[in-house]
């Protein structure tokens, strides 16, 4: 715990109160009854002004002292990356807690997350997922630095427009998985990588053969404790055999968030459990004397928002304008993706649907807007792939699209919405030798993480959508 003293913010408000109250008192004293004798009045005025000056000066000095001492505790000590004490080369553990909405860390006591934040670098208002804010597209963007249109996993489920083949979340055929994930980049450069689950990790690509003992096949029933132990065991290997890049994945609190919505005590309990798993990891690393040497990057893939049965939009309600057959709809909610037969005009479908939605006659119609994909806001980066169906609907947060009115009653949680929606944000915390202690950085998109990891590991990145200069804005310069 020794070097983990968090940088405390400057206690400025107290200073201001202390210096202002006596000043106010002296001024009111001067304007009152003590003014009959002019020389007496002058000396009182002189004393008062001297006192005011003294108090103001001492307040200024105290303020300056506190300001500079606070600045030095976060920047002075950490002006360059800290040297490794035990490990031979930098190691990154990339951890994902699925559906960890930004702000969940305030729901309950999270001493281990707090410790990583206090002694590491945090995206102060969360990490921005890519669109669509779904598990597979986002996890694969984190490890490739590519937007879904470029890494190919454009949804959790989709159809190949040419062959009609279906991609499902259990598919490990490399034809679907484009780009170069971090484990491949690492092994391409002669270093070791290990995956205790991650989206796409079991796909054999280039020099990555998903080797036994390093690439663990996804199994939801493996207890979280065991997953942490699998990571810790790598640190018992001889130094040169320790993988330099490891992934660790937890399904929670996404699971609970879907079932009961983000504001249920079950989510709070799941958050506490994730925190205790981080505690187990931290103490295991400490026991091996490597906690301060390892770079831990803690992220989620997306956030979560409450949904309820009154916030539904029924496609059948559009029948007076246009009938959309089930067979055209490749994904329904929150990402409505439509691929009509080739002979039907896309712009006509979009304009008829929007006409109905905006007519005021379709329940919640104004909460859904249809686009030909090339006309989606460019910030979504969601058009440059044939796999993306040509007509896309953007639904407002918390609303859901259904084909028919089923009168089904359900309340829970969902994600997949526009990535500019705050509820879709997740967390980013970096802790380790190359992260400044107690530093806050502005929010950024998760496609930046690929370059961040290659920069920490000092390896050559594959081309990607992240910015080459981004790591410099987050990491400490090497000493
Ligand atoms: Zn989910």
Summarize pLDDT for 120-135 with one digit per residue, the tens: 999 999 999 999 999 9
Q: How far is the CA of 208 from the centre of ligand 1 (A)?
A: 27
All CATH 3.40.720.10 domain ranges in the chain, comma separated:
91-306+420-473
Q: How far is the CA of 12 from the centre of ligand 1 (A)?
A: 42
Q: What is the mean pLDDT of residues 156-184?
A: 96
pLDDT of residue 21: 32
* Statement: residue 71 has pLDDT above 90: no
The pairing of beta strand 391-395 with beta strand 439-441: unpaired
Binning pLDDT at 50, 70 and 90, where does residue 13 land? very low
pLDDT in tens, 219-257: 999 999 999 999 999 999 999 999 999 999 999 999 999
* Statement: residue 55 has pLDDT above 90: no
The two tokens of residue 292 are: 């301060």
Q: How far is the CA of 258 from the centre of ligand 1 (A)?
A: 6
Distance CA 250, CA 228 (A): 10
Find where tokens 């910030």 sit. Answer: 379
pLDDT in tens, 247-289: 999 999 999 999 999 999 999 999 999 999 999 999 999 999 9
- Considering the segment(s) 310-408 as one domain, its CATH architecture is 2-Layer Sandwich (3.30)
CB-CB contact of 48 with 26 (8 Å): yes
Q: How far is the CA of 155 from the centre of ligand 1 (A)?
A: 12
At 306 the three-state DSSP class reads strand
pLDDT of residue 50: 55
Which of 67-71, 100-104, 343-347, 417-421 is predicted with the least confidence, judged by mean pLDDT? 67-71
* Statement: residue 59 has pLDDT above 90: no
CB-CB contact of 200 with 153 (8 Å): yes
pLDDT of residue 1: 32
pLDDT of residue 163: 95
Q: What is the mean pLDDT of residues 56-74?
A: 48
Distance CA 174, CA 13 (A): 58
Active site residue 135: yes
Q: What is the pTM for the complete model shown? A: 0.84
The Cα-based distances of 320 to 316, 317, 362, 407 in angstroms read 9, 8, 10, 21
Given CATH 3.40.640.10, say whether it is the number of domain 91-306+420-473. Answer: no
The enclosing H or E element of 64 equals helix 38-71
Q: How far is the CA of 420 from the centre of ligand 1 (A)?
A: 17
pLDDT of residue 478: 86
Residue 374, φ and ψ in degrees, nearest 5: -65, -20
Binning pLDDT at 50, 70 and 90, where does residue 479 land? confident
DSSP string, 388-448: S-SEEEEE-TT-EEESS------EEEE--S-TTSGGG-B-EEEESTTB-TTEEE---BGGG
At 115 the three-state DSSP class reads helix
* Statement: residue 84 has pLDDT above 80: yes
pLDDT of residue 279: 98
Binning pLDDT at 50, 70 and 90, where does residue 433 land? very high
Q: How far is the CA of 257 from the centre of ligand 1 (A)?
A: 8
Dihedral sign (CA 153, 159, 164, 169): positive
CB-CB contact of 201 with 172 (8 Å): no
* Statement: residue 35 has pLDDT above 50: no
All CATH 3.30.1360.180 domain ranges in the chain, comma separated:
310-408
Distance CA 169, CA 41 (A): 86
Distance CA 114, CA 121 (A): 11
Binning pLDDT at 50, 70 and 90, where does residue 28 land? very low
Q: How far is the CA of 333 from the centre of ligand 1 (A)?
A: 12
Cis peptide before 158 (omega within 30 of 0): no
The single residue of 110, 121, 133, 135 carrying the catalytic annotation is: 135
Q: How far is the CA of 453 from the centre of ligand 1 (A)?
A: 25
Which of 51-65, 182-196, 204-218, 244-258 is predicted with the least confidence, judged by mean pLDDT? 51-65
**How many helices (H) and strands (E) in the chain?**
12, 17
CB-CB contact of 476 with 80 (8 Å): yes
Q: How far is the CA of 301 from the centre of ligand 1 (A)?
A: 9
């Amino acid at each position: 715990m020794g070097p983990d003293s968090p940088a405390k913010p400057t206690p400025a408000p107290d200073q201001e109160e202390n210096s202002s109250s006596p000043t106010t008192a002296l001024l009111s004293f001067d304007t009152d009854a003590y003014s009959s004798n002019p020389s007496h009045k002058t000396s009182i005025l002189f004393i008062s002004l001297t006192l005011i000056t003294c108090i103001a000066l001492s307040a200024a000095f105290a303020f300056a002292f506190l300001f500079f001492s606070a600045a030095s505790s976060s920047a002075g000590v950490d002006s360059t990356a800290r040297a490794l004490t035990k490990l031979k080369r930098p190691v990154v553990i990339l951890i994902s807690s699925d559906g960890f909405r930004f702000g969940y860390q305030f729901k309950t006591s999270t001493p281990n997350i707090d410790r990583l934040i206090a002694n590491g670098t945090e995206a102060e208002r969360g990490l921005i997922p890519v669109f669509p804010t779904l598990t597979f597209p986002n996890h694969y963007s984190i490890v490739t630095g590519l937007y879904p249109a470029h890494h190919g996993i454009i949804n959790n489920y989709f159809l190949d427009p040419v062959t009609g083949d279906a991609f499902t979340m259990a598919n490990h055929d490399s034809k679907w998985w484009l780009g170069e994930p971090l484990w491949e980049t690492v092994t391409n450069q002669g270093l070791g990588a290990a995956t205790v689950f991650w989206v796409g990790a079991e796909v054999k690509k280039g020099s990555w053969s998903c080797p036994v003992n390093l690439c663990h096949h996804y199994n939801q029933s493996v207890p979280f404790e065991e997953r942490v132990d699998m990571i810790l065991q790598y640190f018992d290997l001889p130094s040169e055999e320790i993988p330099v890049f490891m992934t660790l994945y937890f399904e929670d609190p996404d699971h609970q968030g879907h079932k009961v919505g983000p504001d249920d005590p079950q989510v709070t309990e799941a958050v506490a459990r994730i925190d205790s798993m981080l505690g187990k990891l931290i103490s295991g690393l400490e026991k091996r004397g490597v906690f301060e040497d390892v770079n831990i990057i803690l992220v989620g893939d997306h956030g979560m928002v409450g949904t309820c049965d009154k916030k539904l939009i029924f496609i059948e309600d559009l029948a007076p304008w246009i009938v959309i057959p089930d067979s055209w709809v490749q994904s329904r909610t929150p990402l409505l993706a439509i691929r009509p037969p080739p002979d039907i005009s896309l712009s006509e479908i979009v304009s008829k649907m929007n006409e109905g939605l905006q007519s005021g006659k379709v329940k919640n119609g104004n909460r859904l807007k249809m686009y030909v994909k090339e006309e989606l806001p460019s910030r979504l980066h969601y058009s440059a792939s044939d796999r993306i169906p040509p007509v896309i609907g953007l639904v407002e947060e918390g609303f859901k699209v259904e084909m028919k009115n089923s009168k089904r009653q359900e309340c829970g949680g969902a994600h997949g919405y526009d990535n500019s929606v705050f509820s879709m944000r997740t967390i980013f915390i970096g802790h380790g030798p190359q992260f400044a202690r107690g530093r806050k950085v502005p929010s950024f998109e998760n496609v930046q993480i690929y370059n961040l990891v290659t920069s920490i590991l000092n390896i050559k990145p594959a081309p990607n959508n992240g910015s080459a200069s981004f790591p410099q804005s987050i990491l400490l310069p090497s000493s």
